[in-house]
């Protein structure tokens, strides 16, 4: 039935505002997240988070590019990759390998498409990473609980966990220490603001 299909929309290869070294295929008009789904929410189909570059992912990308020693020569996993911006930054910064995971197969496909545009390669699936990146993942109580459990498991295995968060209401700050803070340009149609103060955190 056509009424349940996602509304098609064009994307344009654009530089990331906070990390212009990276270009992504993004929506280039002032629309909100659910405008791209025909204002329809379906529990079995995530909205197209990957069509935007979110503040947490931008901050992580900037941090990794400015501190390449964080990932250089290491295996990196980008959790809930979305557009793949943090994963691409890790690859550009010299990571030995970068894997991407997301509950939305379209996000994984978008991350690979964006990686190709930046002349780097990403992998899929489970891995045993040295560093875990997670950008803007604490946006709802259900997702935050799932992510929190997953990140704790990685940290218990002595993995380095870095999170980019612009002050989402479900971020468990007590578990983290701040590394850097950025003023990140964002789309007003998404955030009701032109910029968000965003912190890169390391899990204690």
Tens digit of pLDDT at every position of the chain (204 positions): 223 334 467 899 999 999 999 999 999 888 778 676 655 555 456 789 999 999 999 999 999 999 999 999 999 999 999 999 999 999 999 999 999 999 999 999 999 999 999 999 999 977 899 999 999 999 999 999 999 999 999 999 999 999 999 999 999 999 999 999 999 999 998 899 999 999 999 999
List the one residue out of 105, 80, 82, 79 whose CA is nearest residue 26: 82
Our CA angle for 61, 66, 70, nearest 5°, is: 80
**DSSP letter assigned to residue 120:** -
The pLDDT score that the predictor gives to residue 5 is: 37
Give CA separation, 28 vs 11, 19, 24, 89, in Å. Answer: 6, 17, 11, 21
- Are 194 and 186 spatial neighbours (Cβ–Cβ below 8 Å)? yes
Residue with tokens 């950008």: 135
DSSP run (H or E) holding 15: strand 12-15
If you compute the radius of gyration of the chain from its CA atoms, what whole number of angstroms results? 16
The pLDDT score that the predictor gives to residue 44 is: 55
Measured CA to CA, the distance from residue 106 to residue 143 in angstroms comes to 18
Q: Kindly list the structural domains of the chain, giving each domain's residue range(s) and its CATH number in brackets, ordered by start.
A: 2-203 (3.40.50.150)
pLDDT digits (tens, 9 = 90+) for 53-70: 999 999 999 999 999 999
Structure tokens, 33: 């997240």
The pLDDT score that the predictor gives to residue 30 is: 81
What are residue 3's phi and psi, to 5 degrees?
-65, -15
**Region of residue 74 (left: phi > 0; alpha: psi -120 to 50; beta: else):** beta
**DSSP letter assigned to residue 37:** G
Give CA separation, 188 vs 49, 89, 154, 163, in Å. Answer: 15, 24, 34, 23
- Are 46 and 128 spatial neighbours (Cβ–Cβ below 8 Å)? no
**DSSP letter assigned to residue 76:** E
Helices and strands per DSSP (H, E), number in the chain: 5, 9
DSSP bridge pairs for 109: none
Structure tokens, 105: 């197969």
């Amino acid at each position: 039935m056509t009424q349940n299909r996602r509304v098609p929309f064009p994307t344009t290869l654009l530089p990331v505002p906070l990390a212009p070294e990276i270009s992504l295929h993004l929506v280039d008009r002032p629309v909100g997240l659910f405008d791209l789904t025909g204002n329809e929410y379906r529990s079995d189909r995530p909205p197209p988070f990957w069509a935007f570059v979110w503040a947490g992912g931008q901050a992580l990308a900037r941090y990794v590019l400015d501190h390449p020693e964080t990932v250089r020569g290491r295996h990196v996993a980008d959790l809930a990759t979305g557009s793949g911006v943090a994963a691409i930054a890790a690859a550009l910064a010299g990571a030995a390998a970068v894997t991407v995971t997301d509950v939305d197969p379209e996000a994984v496909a978008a991350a690979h498409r964006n990686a190709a545009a930046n002349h780097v390669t990403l992998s899929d699936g489970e891995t045993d990473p040295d560093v875990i990146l997670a950008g803007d993942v604490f946006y709802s109580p259900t997702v935050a609980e799932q992510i929190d459990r997953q990140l704790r498991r990685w940290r218990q295995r002595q993995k380095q966990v870095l999170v980019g968060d612009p002050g989402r209401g479900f971020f468990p700050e007590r578990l983290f220490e701040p590394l850097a803070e950025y003023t990140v340009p964002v789309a007003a149609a998404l955030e009701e603001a032109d910029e968000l103060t965003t912190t890169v955190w390391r899990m204690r």
